Structure 1
Amino acid sequence: MRQSKEGAFREFAEARMGHLFRSACLLTGGDTHLAEDLVQETLGRMYVIWGRTSRLGNPAAYAQTVLVRCYLGHRRRRSAGERPSGELPDRPGESAGDASLRMTLLDALRELPPKDRAVIVLRYWEDRSVSETADALHVSSAAVRTRSTRALARLREQLGGSIGELAVR
């Protein structure tokens, strides 16, 4: 039975791959590499649900829907706007940060309890909202706000004036 499902999926994938790729190329504005990635992700998602496709009625149309959802999901990701650069800078710019500042901040973060460190990283490094952080840590929003306030106070206490000296140059 498993062989027949895999065979049926293989036939579907081979028949639809070209159409999905052309649609993905149109969605991506001609970016063939991204289009290939989207088709691969679409077919991967279709494979996972392939046993239930008999209830879908039209797997080809559903595959198109999955493709569009994959594309939209990709556009929402923060990394979607990254573009390769033809030129690399000769030396790090001002925004690259100072190694001593980074080391000082990492040392101060290491001193925090693990849950406080997690809140700080999720909220301020990954730029998540209070509710997203609460969901990720399986705690209430109030707990995230309390931990965030306390952790930031501890960091200010640990770093004191040294952070200003390191940051200003």
Structure 2
Amino acid sequence: MTATMPAPVVLDGRVVRLEPLALDHVADLYAAGRGDEEVWRFEPRPFPASPEEMHRHVAGLLADRQTTQFAVILKATGRAVGSTGYWDVCRCDENVEVGSTWYARAYWRTAVNTDCKIALLDHAFTLGFVRVMLKTDILNLRSQAAIERIGGVREGVLRRQRRRPDGTWRDSPVYSILDDEWPAHRARLLDRV
């Protein structure tokens, strides 16, 4: 397999549909996170302060060939409630990272994250990746617990992996799920969605 960044496609789950991120999603995404600093607390930049800033943020992601980003569409409403994506394809090791995931607070600890991860992991393993990596801020205990709930195995911590918006250094726990582990995790997670 020659690992390449997954192409933007629609990934359909039970609760959500992941659509390739587009400028059409800007208004929904801005509304989903506006006024709630906790939503992007652990992201590498602050939440966009205006719809125009969200537009620039989304446009920047669309121009970045090192990622494939999706809008997380809640099927019940047809509205985007967050975003997620693929990052860091390792061409020699058949690995891909799932990351840059955020949701409106109303969807934390709901079926949204589980359904998103099932769709993303299914797609990655169908494409032939053998390992899906997930990273988070060492201070983001909520995210670490969510990764562990879906079956992520903690492999270690990348020290001073990136700067936070406040200038402090972020250490990043690294988790992975392997292709041969996924079927058992998938069956367990489907019972929860």
> Do they superpose with TM above 0.5?
no
Q: Which has the higher contact order (CA 8 A, sep 6+)?
A: 2
Higher strand share: 2
Computing the radius of gyration over CA atoms, which structure comes out larger, 1 or 2? Answer: 1
TM-score, length basis structure 1: 0.23
